[in-house]
A = this chain, B = another copy of it.
């Protein structure tokens, strides 16, 4: 049984948990806050980031969410998520990077800082200008998702792929933190509702980060 070291609002861990569920790979959660993690965690991942996944029986420890995703893609045939020709696969990986890096940097990271870290660690009120900026950036990213789903069935091409999981993972954390406004994004919203309705998404939507409550619509499958 794999153990996933993560905290409820880590978007990269959500991506990996979605991937594992889609592929039918069992796992247990091992709650790990990177800002408060001990030596054991840093030994497993000198980058200091979640998720780390470990199979103690096979003595395999993996770090970096993209490396983990490629590992499961290479070792588990079920539900291929980096699929198609080399060109298609490059497009899926480009989009994963876009959401892992740009969406995270522009939207998820500032929201996590203002609404989670300031509340739980720094004991400061959020900066409303930073929140507004993050929500504005979110609109730009949702515009791009509107454009993608207007031209393809799924973000990365004809099939659901790691690109959808990466995007939905980031959006779900931003949505939990009140940073997503779906107005004027009907295409993106319709795509997200489809992904959110998958059984793999259920466990994420029912989890709560202590003290911080999501908006009412967060876990509803028809909103």
Within the oligomer, what is the number of copies of this chain? Answer: 2
Residue pair A86, B94 in contact (C-beta under 8 Å): no
User: How many chain-A residues does the 8 Å CB contact rule pick out?
Assistant: 28
Q: Which residues of A53-89 are within 8 A (CB) of B?
A: 60, 62-64, 66-68, 70-71, 74-75, 86-87, 89
What are the interface flags for A119-138 relative to B under an 8 Å C-beta threshold, 1 for contact and 0 otherwise? Answer: 00000000000000000000
Q: Give Cα A100–Cα B111 distance, bound, in whole angstroms.
A: 24
User: Do A64 and B86 form a contact, CB below 8 Å, given A46-B98, A46-B144, A47-B102?
Assistant: no
Main secondary structure of the interface of A (DSSP, over half): helix
B residues within 8 A CB of A144?
A: 46
Residue pair A75, B86 in contact (C-beta under 8 Å): yes
Q: Give Cα A90–Cα B46 distance, bound, in whole angstroms.
A: 15
Which residues of A pack against B, CB within 8 Å?
Answer: 45-48, 60, 62-64, 66-68, 70-71, 74-75, 86-87, 89-91, 93-94, 96-98, 101-102, 144
